[in-house]
Amino acid sequence: MKADALDLLFPVVRAEVLRALFHHTQREMYVRELARWSELALRTVQRELATLIKIGLVTSRTNGYLVFYRANRKHVLFAPLQQLVFKSERCVLGKRKPRKRPRQSWRESVRRKRKRPSTFAPRHRPLTTRLLKAVEFE
Q: Where are the domains of the chain?
A: 2-104
Residue 7 has pLDDT above 60, yes or no: yes
Phi, psi angles (nearest 5°) of residue 103: -75, -5
Among 23, 76, 20, smallest CA distance to 48 is for 20
Task: Note the pLDDT of residue 117.
Answer: 56
Q: Provide mean pLDDT across the span 94-112.
A: 54
Q: Provide mean pLDDT across the span 86-94.
A: 64
Asked whether 70 and 59 are in contact (CB, 8 A), the reply is yes
Q: What is the pLDDT of residues 13-55, one digit of tens each?
A: 888 888 889 887 788 999 999 999 888 899 999 999 999 999 9
| Residue partners of 53: CB distance under 8 A and separation at least 6 | 59, 60, 69
Q: Distance of CA 15 to CAs 4, 81, 116, Å? A: 10, 11, 44
Between 90 and 96, the more confident residue is: 90
Task: Note the pLDDT of residue 58.
Answer: 93
**pTM of the predicted structure, to 2 decimals:** 0.62
Most confident among 75-89, 91-105, 118-132 (mean pLDDT): 75-89
Q: Provide mean pLDDT across the span 45-70.
A: 92
Amino acid (1-letter code) at residue 63: N
User: Coil, helix or strand for 52?
Assistant: helix
Q: Provide mean pLDDT across the span 62-78.
A: 92
Task: Note the pLDDT of residue 95.
Answer: 47
> Cα–Cα distance between 87 and 77 in angstroms, integer?
15
List alpha helices for the chain, DSSP H: 5-9, 12-23, 31-38, 42-55, 78-90, 106-113, 127-137
Task: Note the pLDDT of residue 86.
Answer: 85
* pLDDT interval class at 93 (50, 70, 90): very low
- 2-104 topology per CATH: Arc Repressor Mutant, subunit A (1.10.10)
